[in-house]
Structure 1
Amino acid sequence: MNNIKEVDVLVIGAGPAGSIAAREASKNGAKTLIIDKKSEIGTPKRCAEGIMDGVLERVGITPDERWIARHIDGARIVSPNNTSAWFTSENLETPATGIILERKVFDKHVTMDAIRNGAEVMIKTEALSMKKENNYFLVDINGFNSEITQIKANIVIGADGPEGHVGTWAGIKTKVPANEMESGIQYEMTNLKMEKNDTIEFYFGSVAPGGYAWIFPKGYDSANVGIDISSVKSTESALEYLNNFVKNNPATKDGQIVEINTGGNPLCGVFDQIITDNFMLVGDAAGCINPITGGGIDTALESGMIAGRVAAKAIKENNYSTQILQEYSDYVEEHIGKKFRKYINIRDFLYNLEDDDLNDYIEALNKANITTLSTKSLLKAAIKISPRKLLKLRKLL
């Protein structure tokens, strides 16, 4: 006989999106459970760990130095011929500051915050399958040190990341076309010689076909060094491109690797469908990943927060239909989905540029009087360089 645990809301995945969804659902009165198949929340990291100042405060998280690896002052954009455009407090009127997280600590912090607000957590617990029965879901699980084999939930929130299966189990199409999927690999390295160890760096062009390489400082001589490439535009593996980048970059060529992370990164934007009866997708699992940068911590937290609140509202009203969950889907469309569709056009233009064009654009950015660092301000500066080439992107400004 199955041992069944009954909850109002089941969250599958204890990343930032899942944990903040659980926090909001629980503190608003829903009996909430998070399960995660990993033995340790926050590992392995699938992220360069950067986030802009102000994001955490907007979702009710107070920054804590225990999980801040580095405070960041702006960005450096590097062309194929090594021309650099710097955007720091020295030349920006509006600061572009942020932090590099220690995700292994930060993710646990968000999960612990959910627990303090009433949520329950089961780690090393894998969801094996899920089926709809009447007005609830039954989820088969394999849990560590637990006799529970099934979870009965009125609402399931899928937060199992970009390669998750929960959405498919719920009948939602989440398959990403090959041309929208990036291959990524990242080293955490030390003994680096960065020109500025408080500035994130982006490298574009043939060094990373259809993507970019990055250096995100985590200390005075340590950083996340990684690369995302398009599988349809590259001739070598992501590993080979990253190794070439590390070998030839003055900052990294003498560094040592202390951690390796790999994975795919979907850049298709928010999926057309992210809800169905009794079910919502959040964070990376919903496609809430910036199509230009591949970043997604901010949108993971934002989507998770709203999903948790809508789930709690649905529980109170004893109505788990698509109609009541539409409030969450509408929010994501308005605040994330619309913007990301514009970003896809920008990404396609940027990642199809030849090295010579990138050299010209980044040289011009270096000379431009840009006072605020944003996608919009960078595009405006680029349009002045080559109005004809960027004519299609003008309407996005």
Structure 2
Amino acid sequence: MEYKVMEKYDIIVVGAGPAGLSFAEHIEDKSVLVIDRKKELGVPIKSSAATFADTLIDFELKDAVCHSSRGFRVILDNGYIKEFLYEKPVLYTLDFTKMIRILKKRMQKNCDILHPASVERISMDNGSIKSIETNENNFKADLFIDASGESRVLLKHLNSSYYRKQWLIHGLEYEVSKIDLNSTYFDFFFGNNLIPEGYCWVFPTGNTSARIGLGKLIPGRGGLRKIKLKDALQKFISSNVITAENFDNNNILEYHGGIMTYNKPLKNAYFKNCFVIGDAASQSSCLLGEGIRHSLRSGRELAIALNSFDLDFAKIYFQRYIDNNTKFFEYFPLFLQYFKIAPNWAILTLVKALSDYDNTNMLRLLRSEFKSSDFMKLLYTFPRNMI
């Protein structure tokens, strides 16, 4: 526990990640309690912490930057490589723990934070949350916010069907040093010969350091112990000439593991007296796992709504934000489902078709700004029996 806490607040936020802390930074004139189960916020790291330039500007996160890259490459297991290079840096890796510390320092004075504290019981009354019980105390509030990521601590009591009916991307990543790489590019790898039902990446964190990882699609909520992600990642590294040279276990600084859902975004992010924001509402791009930018924005926009309007209009404002900023996400689960069932030649055909875009459109796709018209054009890339 870091602050003196009360038993009754205007708002209780569950989760001190990017979404929850962004909300706590921007909310005004209300008593707020932020609860998180971690002893040290931002640890363990469960994010590759890659983002775009506008995130650094909008949320003043330049002090958390590890490395900037001017482009990215699409690399297929048949040897095909397509490069996209820009005049200025477009992709950045962040120090996730440092970013969380920066956000925490910016919390409004009206916000308290309690950690480590686990939510052990939730009291409900006619579909509304009355109170939550932690290992520290029992807390009441007029309004609750679920910013707890894929664990969805509050949402699973409010919409259990959305919580259960989901597919997951299980990820594993090494933070490595003293390797040979071209730090100008972020690299994305595709193909069943590299990683069946998934994709791999190399994100530079310096001129000779990077985050090397993979994401694999898994139905349901199976544990990481059931998936041999480490073996798959080692196989990827050993078979990939870009990362294999001069690489051994002595290069590994950290292991990062995590889970991301690729449901369609939660359509209604409000349940009586509870908002759901960030990854908890799938307000993230499951195409390549980008969530930080969208989580920061959702926390800020909800705070702006509650600062500016009464609750009824705040619901409308925030729902409009969700509708306008997550409509492109609905197409991405279709791509990932395709990766699950398609033969390797079809996956390579799809990725090559995407990489034939020009620089502007490919960056738009990477930024989750894909439109229905783009998706329809891709359908004509494939034989009828593959659609």
TM over 0.5, yes or no? yes
Q: Contact 1:70/1:198 (CA < 8 Å) preserved in 2? A: no
Letter in 1 for 2:53: D
Q: Contact 2:306/2:314 (CA < 8 Å) preserved in 1? A: no
Q: Contact 1:284/1:296 (CA < 8 Å) preserved in 2? A: yes
Letter in 2 for 1:270: P
Letter in 2 for 1:335: N
TM-score between the two structures when normalised by the length of structure 1? 0.82
Aligned-partner Cα distance in 1 for 2:62–2:89? 20
Q: What secondary structure is seen at the aligned counterpart in 1 of 2:264?
A: coil
C-alpha distance 351-200 of structure 1, shift in aligned 2 (>3 A): farther
Which residue pairs with 1:198 in the alignment?
184
Q: In the alignment, does 2:177 pair up with 1:156?
A: no
Which residue pairs with 1:118 in the alignment?
110
TM-score between the two structures when normalised by the length of structure 2? 0.83
Q: Deviations over 1:345-385 (max 9, x none)?
A: 34434555433345456667777654542327999999989
Aligned-partner Cα distance in 2 for 1:274–1:281? 5
Q: What secondary structure is seen at the aligned counterpart in 2 of 1:332?
A: helix
Aligned-partner Cα distance in 2 for 1:262–1:54? 26
Aligned-partner Cα distance in 2 for 1:310–1:393? 44
Q: In the alignment, does 2:326 pair up with 1:340?
A: no
Q: Deviations over 1:257-286 (max 9, x none)?
A: 111122322111212442111101111111
Q: Contact 1:5/1:151 (CA < 8 Å) preserved in 2? A: yes
How far is the alpha carbon of 1:301 from its aligned partner?
A: 1.1
Q: In the alignment, does 2:314 pair up with 1:328?
A: no
Aligned-partner Cα distance in 1 for 2:169–2:139? 34
Aligned-partner Cα distance in 1 for 2:375–2:144? 44
C-alpha distance 390-277 of structure 1, shift in aligned 2 (>3 A): farther
Q: Deviations over 1:295-326 (max 9, x none)?
A: 11111111111222334456xx4x5x6x7534
Which residue pairs with 2:60 in the alignment?
62
Q: Contact 2:350/2:381 (CA < 8 Å) preserved in 1? A: no
Q: What secondary structure is seen at the aligned counterpart in 2 of 1:108?
A: helix
Which residue pairs with 1:250 in the alignment?
241
C-alpha distance 384-153 of structure 1, shift in aligned 2 (>3 A): closer
How far is the alpha carbon of 1:99 from its aligned partner?
A: 1.4
Aligned-partner Cα distance in 2 for 1:312–1:101? 29
Alignment RMSD (CA, Å): 3.3
Aligned-partner Cα distance in 2 for 1:333–1:77? 30
How far is the alpha carbon of 1:386 from its aligned partner?
A: 8.4
How far is the alpha carbon of 1:110 from its aligned partner?
A: 1.0
Q: Tell me, which stretches of 5 or more residues in structure 1 are unaligned?
A: 144-148
How far is the alpha carbon of 1:332 from its aligned partner?
A: 0.7
Instruction: For 1:299-314, list aligned pairs within 5 A.
Output: 299-313=294-308
How far is the alpha carbon of 1:390 from its aligned partner?
A: 7.9
Which residue pairs with 2:51 in the alignment?
51
Q: In the alignment, does 2:117 pair up with 1:130?
A: no
Which residue pairs with 1:216 in the alignment?
203
Q: Which moved more, 1:347-356 or 1:239-248?
A: 347-356
Which residue pairs with 1:146 in the alignment?
none
- Give the counterpart of 1:293 among 280, 288, 291: 288
Q: Contact 1:283/1:301 (CA < 8 Å) preserved in 2? A: yes
Aligned-partner Cα distance in 1 for 2:254–2:323? 36
Counting matched residue pairs gives 368
Which residue pairs with 1:41 in the alignment?
41
Letter in 2 for 1:219: G
Which residue pairs with 2:230 in the alignment?
239
C-alpha distance 390-187 of structure 1, shift in aligned 2 (>3 A): farther
Which residue pairs with 2:222 in the alignment?
none
Q: Contact 1:15/1:159 (CA < 8 Å) preserved in 2? A: yes
Q: In the alignment, does 2:175 pair up with 1:188?
A: yes
Aligned-partner Cα distance in 2 for 1:385–1:271? 26
Which residue pairs with 1:259 in the alignment?
254
C-alpha distance 391-50 of structure 1, shift in aligned 2 (>3 A): farther
Q: In the alignment, does 2:98 pair up with 1:105?
A: yes
Q: Tell me, which stretches of 5 or more residues in structure 2 are unaligned?
A: 220-225
C-alpha distance 386-171 of structure 1, shift in aligned 2 (>3 A): closer
Which residue pairs with 2:71 in the alignment?
74
Letter in 2 for 1:271: L
Aligned-partner Cα distance in 1 for 2:276–2:374? 37
Q: Contact 1:46/1:261 (CA < 8 Å) preserved in 2? A: yes
Q: Contact 2:186/2:202 (CA < 8 Å) preserved in 1? A: yes
Letter in 1 for 2:205: K
Q: Contact 1:189/1:225 (CA < 8 Å) preserved in 2? A: yes
- Give the counterpart of 2:266 among 249, 252, 271: 271
Aligned-partner Cα distance in 1 for 2:270–2:384? 36
Q: In the alignment, does 2:6 pair up with 1:9?
A: no
Letter in 1 for 2:240: N
Aligned-partner Cα distance in 2 for 1:112–1:392? 55
C-alpha distance 8-380 of structure 1, shift in aligned 2 (>3 A): closer
Letter in 1 for 2:86: S
Aligned-partner Cα distance in 2 for 1:382–1:274? 26
Aligned-partner Cα distance in 1 for 2:93–2:351? 25
Aligned-partner Cα distance in 2 for 1:39–1:177? 30
Aligned-partner Cα distance in 2 for 1:344–1:285? 16
Q: Contact 1:183/1:264 (CA < 8 Å) preserved in 2? A: yes
